[in-house]
Amino acid sequence: MDAAEFRRRGKEMVDFVADYLENIEHRRVYPDVEPGYLRSMIPSEAPLEPESYEDVLKDVDRVIMPGITHWQSPHFHAYFPSASSYPALLADMLCGGLGCIGFTWAASPACTELETVMLDWLGQMLQLPEDFLAGTKGQGGGVIQGTASEATLMALLAARCKAVKCVHESDPQRSEADIISKLIAYTSEEAHSSVERAGLIGGVGIRMVATDEHFSVRAETLEKMVAEDKAAGFIPFFFCATLGTTPSCAFDKITELGPLCNAENIWMHIDAAYAGSSFICPEFRPLLDGVEFADSFNFNPHKWLLVNFDCSAMWVKKRTDLIGAFKLDPVYLKYDNQESGLVTDYRHWGIPLGRRFRSLKLWFVFRMYGQSGLQAYIRKHVELAKVFETMVKKDKRFEICAEVVLGLVCFRLKGSDELNEALLKEITHLGRIHLVPCKLRGRFVLRFAVCGRTTELRHVQEAWTHITELSSELLLKHHS
Ligand code: PLP
């Protein structure tokens, strides 16, 4: 394909994507395919000779589309949202076109510098304490990671490094292996599995902290566990708080947990993967109170801030904790100005060396929506969730299972888990809307998340009508 054909095909692809997104609501949101469906539809080996673009595109319709779960559909209410907007899509196209890799400042100065400034802009939008911002007198700064899982892992690894150093300084005889074997991390029993996984990857013990009646971790509970563990010779070093848990969007009490962690020399990381976007609205910002005690904070603009995947924003209060933990300097990555103190090398801030120019997506979205546009978007989703909650509450056959704070409603039919499992199975089987479940206090619960950029009141009402009709049929069968 030469530039002339790329121009033509590129314009066609933009039309293809715009048509797809404009008409997405008419598609079945959840695909009707069996595992392994794809292999038999394409050859068993890559083609020896080039094929035509037309043939490739035809196969997108034939092979790919039947197996797509339409995450951008207004009928998609599963998991949490995966953000998408036209400005971000265009920025992504530009990112692909530039094709630069920004691992050091020199590898692509604009790539590095825009990232630093965008993370400051975003940090200001969230009213993060100045300590976390790069362009201030503080020692902090922000970085774009691929996912919240990576951010949690990086925070845990940096905390591990800091703890080992600290213990070693007071007890130089102690081996690193011995110290690591005694390190203990903590997180909520409601935390995302990626936190436990970070513990497994980081090779440290991790304990789940019980939550209160609101599914929140309280300082009192953590304090007891820390005391027990210290008495048993362990070294508490890391606590991952969650603001907006995956099952029910619950909030750990960081205003009380933060001071405890600070007093115990425990690194507090905050995972606000989904809820973080809402903190740009003054009315939701109090949910972030206590962030001043944290060592690191992360949320996913790729979930709820109209920035297409991947873009996970992470800030640290003391950037040397992160950068210093895993610093290597091979000759081929050296350049003039490296030690000037004026440059950032993001390769030290994460696991991969190579990194895409993801800050372009933030820049385009911030400028084309403005803070007011982004706030309006968040507020609309929260309002739609409230509408859904009100409809659930009006139907005495159902119950709400957790407080609705943002765009997630946890609900169930009053009755057995089996009944609710049967309801969800039927919803999934019909594929008109898509929901996933969770367990709350051992009970099977349905989650209704407002996800789509184009989700309107009518979609939420239609979803509820669909759910209630299926429920009526199910209850009739159940009682007959
Ligand atoms: N943390 C929380 C609270 C989440 O809800 C999720 C995903 O929904 C994650 C972490 C994982 O996010 P990622 O896919 O960015 O790793």
* SS3 annotation, 115-175: HHHHHHHHHHHCCCCHHHCCCCCCCCEEEEECCHHHHHHHHHHHHHHHHHHHHHHHCCCCC
Cα of 145 from ligand 1 centre, angstroms? 12
Per DSSP bridges, beta strands 235-242 and 205-209 are: unpaired
Q: Residue of the nearest CA to atom 12 in ligand 1?
A: 148
| Model confidence band, residue 160 (pLDDT cutoffs 50, 70, 90) | very high
Average pLDDT over residues 136-147: 91
- How confident is the model at residue 120, as a pLDDT? 96
Average pLDDT over residues 141-147: 96
Average pLDDT over residues 198-216: 97
Cβ atoms < 10 Å from Cβ of 113: 15
Distance of CA 209 to the CA centre of its chain: 21
- How confident is the model at residue 30, as a pLDDT? 94
- How confident is the model at residue 339, as a pLDDT? 75
Q: 135 pLDDT exceeds 90?
A: no
Tell me phi and psi for residue 317, to 5 degrees.
-75, -35
Q: 480 pLDDT exceeds 80?
A: no
Give the span between the Cα atoms of 356 and 360, in whole angstroms: 10
User: Residues with Cβ < 8 Å from 422, sequence gap 6 or more?
Assistant: 474
Cα of 80 from ligand 1 centre, angstroms? 9
Per DSSP bridges, beta strands 408-413 and 443-449 are: antiparallel
Average pLDDT over residues 80-109: 95
pTM for this entry:
0.95
- How confident is the model at residue 341, as a pLDDT? 73
Beta bridge partners of 270: 241, 297
User: Residues with Cβ < 8 Å from 132, sequence gap 6 or more?
Assistant: 123, 138, 140, 141, 142, 297, 315, 316, 317
Share of the chain above pLDDT 90, in %: 92
Q: 136 pLDDT exceeds 80?
A: no
Amino acid identity for residue 178 in this structure: D
Cα of 244 from ligand 1 centre, angstroms? 10
Query: Tens digit of pLDDT for each residue in 222-239?
Result: 999 999 999 999 999 999
Q: 139 pLDDT exceeds 80?
A: yes
Count Cα neighbours of 474 within 13 Å in the Cβ-side half-sphere. 21
Nearest residue to 385 (alpha-carbon basis) of 435, 288, 460:
460
Pocket test for ligand 1, best of 153, 189, 215, 271 (most atoms within 8 A of CB): 271
Ligand 1 binding site (Cβ under 6 Å of any ligand atom): 79-80, 147-149, 192, 194, 242, 244-246, 271, 273-274, 300, 312
Of 377 and 331, which is predicted with more confidence?
A: 377
Average pLDDT over residues 73-99: 97
* Atom of ligand 1 lying closest to residue 275 CA: 3
Query: Tens digit of pLDDT for each residue in 5-34?
Result: 999 999 999 999 999 999 999 999 999 999
- How confident is the model at residue 191, as a pLDDT? 97
* Atom of ligand 1 lying closest to residue 244 CA: 3
Query: Are 83 and 305 in contact, with CB atoms under 8 Å apart?
Result: yes
Cα of 192 from ligand 1 centre, angstroms? 6
User: Residues with Cβ < 8 Å from 108, sequence gap 6 or more?
Assistant: 100, 101, 102, 357
* Atom of ligand 1 lying closest to residue 191 CA: 3
- How confident is the model at residue 332, as a pLDDT? 85
Query: Tens digit of pLDDT for each residue in 40-62?
Result: 999 999 999 999 999 999 999 99
Instruction: State the virtual CA torsion across 405, 406, 407, 408 in degrees, nearest 10.
Output: -40
Share of the chain above pLDDT 70, in %: 100
* Atom of ligand 1 lying closest to residue 274 CA: 5
Query: Are 41 and 60 in contact, with CB atoms under 8 Å apart?
Result: no
